[in-house]
Structure 1
Amino acid sequence: MPTTPHSARQGRARRAAAAGAALALAAALAGCAADDGAPERPSASASASASASSAPEPRVRADLEAVFADAGVNGTFVAYDSATGETTVVNPEEMDERVQPASTFKIPNSLISLQAGAVESADEVVPYGGEPQRVDKWEHDMSMREAIRISALPIFQELARRVGHEEMGSWVERFDYGNRDIGGPDRIDQFWLHGPLSISAAEQALFMERVATGDLPVDAEHVATLHDMVRQDIDDPEGRDLYWKSGWADGPELMPGWMVGWVEDGDDVTAFALRLEMESDAHADLREPMTRELLDELGVLPAGTD
């Protein structure tokens, strides 16, 4: 999807409105924002505060909490409708909690790697390093296009090292991604897995909207390539398209599990983020069906479009 100045301005306006709505909801629920030790973000906060009074009130779907209860897992879900500017939230008390992005960071990592020239194209074969991997299918050299489909960690670790600490930090800052903290040079191939980088479900949904609309400081051709890499093969009679990426972060107790992406319906985009508190490996299998059920309940994408 090529980026135009008009679409970029629209994206920034929608994002600011959504951020304002999320900020207003968080304030109403908590009285004040929690201090998580993240660096101050004056420009984003100023935009959100300025937009809060005019943004549509977030819609809290308490009825959909049953989706989480029935699955026996805690978590939250945030969806942002670019056409209406409306944010819909399930379990809003958890929407602003920041955790590691895990493999969902492969989306910004891909864009950064392409823009920074870490690879000539998404089809350049990247060496995996030759070491044994915890997933057998990761143990071969492959392109970034293949690697994102199977979430091959060593390929994206190599890409992050090629980008380098200073440039990676600059891009994460420019993307306004989560707490924008990638740590020191020794964390260059770990920061999205074990921290210090962290992001909330609300922030993930807003970032996905920017990826979907091309409202990022990268070339339009790289955005189009990324779209092609994460587009899912679904059979929808209405012609809607689904884009997403899963994530699963390591943790000593609860393991954050993600499914983030967007649905395109003509010119309209609904960006979303599901985050689960996974207590066992079995919970990882819940991410896709729960996301599909929630999108169905919201009327965004009917169940069974696979």
Structure 2
Amino acid sequence: MRHATLLLTLFLLAVPAAQAGDAPALVERPDWQAHFAAAGVAGTMALQKDGAPEILVYDAKRAATPFLPASTFKILNSLIALETGVVSGPEEVFPYDGQPRFLPAWNADLTLRQAFALSCVPIYQDIARRIGPERMAWYVVACNYGNASIAGGIDQFWLSGGLRISALEQIEFLKRLHHRQLPFGNAAIDAVLDIMIVGQTGQTTLRAKTGLTARIQPGTAWYVGLVNRGPDTWYFALNLAVPHPDAAAPLAARKDVAMAILRGEGIMQ
């Protein structure tokens, strides 16, 4: 543990500290409310172009409010798994244990790539147990991920435990991932950026991850990611309120609202 603490100290010293006044300005976009209203949902969206001094945001107060990350944590969980070697690569197969799972698509042998795309919770819980509390805590702190708490159990902390992150913090994490300012080698980062791809058209690549807190009510539905188009990159984080377990609108709308805003800003077609 002493060695891990020393490594963390050296890593943090190597990352330039943010100077006073460096925080991006928040620019409210009340016009985005029409997209939320059309879907019958309430929530927030934050959007920043790489290098821009401002973050465009609808409902800045909610954008700064931390929530459980749910399956958006699979981005960091995958990075840690690959860096520590508990998973050999995106094509490693996780055999199905025969137990009925929440989604029928999870009831199969799945690679890490497939488990990420299908957001298979049991596989990622197994991955977290392989990583273990000490290494997990070290990396979550080193990555400055939200409040960096893994309280509540090694296979529960991002689902129903103590971890919290805001939409604005999600953008900061994605920015550091894109710029390789996280404590991971290029192989792990390249693999995770690859499995995050959900769409490619011409020079435009969309990388994203959904999330849904199904165990805590009221819940939160997430859609976070980055868009690369030619030399430009944009980071986005959307979350929607899920007022009760049977609320279907937020689950269906999380991608639609985000994509409507990205298209409206001329980022996606």
TM over 0.5: yes
- How many residues are treated as equivalent by the alignment? 252
Counterpart of 1:106 in structure 2: which amino acid? Answer: K
Alpha-carbon deviation of 1:83? 3.1
After TM superposition, the runs of 4+ consecutive aligned structure 1 residues lying more than 4 A away are none
Alpha-carbon deviation of 1:128? 4.2
Q: CA RMSD in A?
A: 1.7
1:158 corresponds to which of 107, 126, 144: 126
Conservation of the 8 A alpha-carbon contact between 2:39 and 2:249: no
Normalising by structure 2, report the TM-score: 0.88
- Structure 2 vs 1, CA of residues 235 and 157 (structure 1 numbering), >3 Å: closer, same or farther? same
Structure with bigger strand share is: 2
Aligned counterparts of 1:66 and 1:254: Cα–Cα separation in 2? 23
SS at match of 1:234: strand
2:266 corresponds to which of 294, 299, 305: 299
Q: Could you list the runs of 5+ residues in structure 2 that have no partner in the other structure?
A: 1-14
- Structure 2 vs 1, CA of residues 209 and 56 (structure 1 numbering), >3 Å: closer, same or farther? closer
Conservation of the 8 A alpha-carbon contact between 2:199 and 2:207: no
Normalising by structure 1, report the TM-score: 0.78
Name the structure 2 match of 1:118: 86
- Please state if 1:83 is matched with 2:51: yes
Counterpart of 1:98 in structure 2: which amino acid? Answer: P
Name the structure 2 match of 1:108: 76
Aligned counterparts of 2:96 and 2:59: Cα–Cα separation in 1? 39
Name the structure 1 match of 2:36: 68
Counterpart of 2:85 in structure 1: which amino acid? Answer: G
Q: Which moved more, 1:227-236 or 1:261-270?
A: 227-236
- Please state if 1:277 is matched with 2:244: no
Q: Which moved more, 1:63-72 or 1:220-229?
A: 63-72
Aligned counterparts of 1:180 and 1:79: Cα–Cα separation in 2? 23
- Structure 2 vs 1, CA of residues 55 and 206 (structure 1 numbering), >3 Å: closer, same or farther? closer
SS at match of 1:104: helix
Conservation of the 8 A alpha-carbon contact between 2:71 and 2:211: yes
Aligned counterparts of 1:180 and 1:83: Cα–Cα separation in 2? 26
Name the structure 2 match of 1:129: 97
1:198 corresponds to which of 164, 181, 186: 164
Name the structure 2 match of 1:168: 136
1:215 corresponds to which of 181, 187, 201: 181
TM-superposition CA deviations, 1:132-166 (whole Å, max 9, x none): 11111111222111110111111111110000011
Name the structure 1 match of 2:204: 240
- Structure 2 vs 1, CA of residues 139 and 267 (structure 1 numbering), >3 Å: closer, same or farther? same
2:229 corresponds to which of 265, 274, 280: 265
Aligned counterparts of 2:204 and 2:165: Cα–Cα separation in 1? 28
Aligned counterparts of 2:88 and 2:186: Cα–Cα separation in 1? 15
SS at match of 1:97: coil
Conservation of the 8 A alpha-carbon contact between 1:178 and 1:203: yes
Alpha-carbon deviation of 1:55? 5.2
Counterpart of 1:299 in structure 2: which amino acid? Answer: G
Q: Could you list the runs of 5+ residues in structure 1 that have no partner in the other structure?
A: 1-11, 14-42
Name the structure 1 match of 2:3: none
Name the structure 2 match of 1:33: none
Structure with bigger helix share is: 1
Conservation of the 8 A alpha-carbon contact between 1:83 and 1:268: no
